[in-house]
Structure 1
């Protein structure tokens, strides 16, 4: 049995026109050392998380600071 690939219209609908997983609502800190944005974990995940990216150093380091499941649980 061969596995069929998902059609483009279905992929587009599932990923909300390929926007899931992309950073949104970007804000730069006043000192320019960090950016804050919301993003889901992947193109198939509709839950956005608040992420802080530290721009200092040789590589970009991202950390999730707002996880909806944890915030709503307590």
Structure 2
């Protein structure tokens, strides 16, 4: 599992956007270099990026350290 319920071999469809609502699955650029696919939540002046895999702790970051690059709008899974 990669993140946000996405499995190896899945194809995701991302709509380019710089904004997100709580609960959206987003492509987020973290601290200017790392891109990750996570569930997005705001908590005051911080952003929480949550993995769907419970083995990974949520990442809590200052809002300025996270830039939304896109939002998940589709998933293609083959069996």
Q: Name the TM-score class by shorter chain.
A: under 0.3
TM-score (norm 2): 0.27
Which entry has the higher C-alpha Rg, 1 or 2?
1
Q: Which structure exhibits the higher relative contact order, with contacts defined as CA atoms closer than 8 Å and separated by 6 or more residues? A: 2
TM-score (norm 1): 0.28
Whose helix fraction is larger, Structure 1's or Structure 2's?
A: 1
